[in-house]
């Protein structure tokens, strides 16, 4: 499955899940 991110770029679910994990870890640090 593919969809567009905030920048209008096409990204895959796999890439989104990896990005979500990094974002979640960054949120926990602050």
Cα 13 to Cα 11: distance, rounded to the nearest angstrom: 7
Q: What local confidence, expressed as pLDDT, does residue 10 receive?
A: 72
pLDDT averaged over 10-residue windows placed end to end, the chain, 30 residues: 67 73 72
User: Terminal CA-to-CA distance of the chain, rounded, Å?
Assistant: 32
């Amino acid at each position: 499955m593919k969809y567009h991110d905030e920048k209008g770029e096409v990204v895959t679910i796999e890439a989104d899940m990896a990005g979500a994990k990094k974002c979640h870890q960054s949120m926990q640090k602050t």
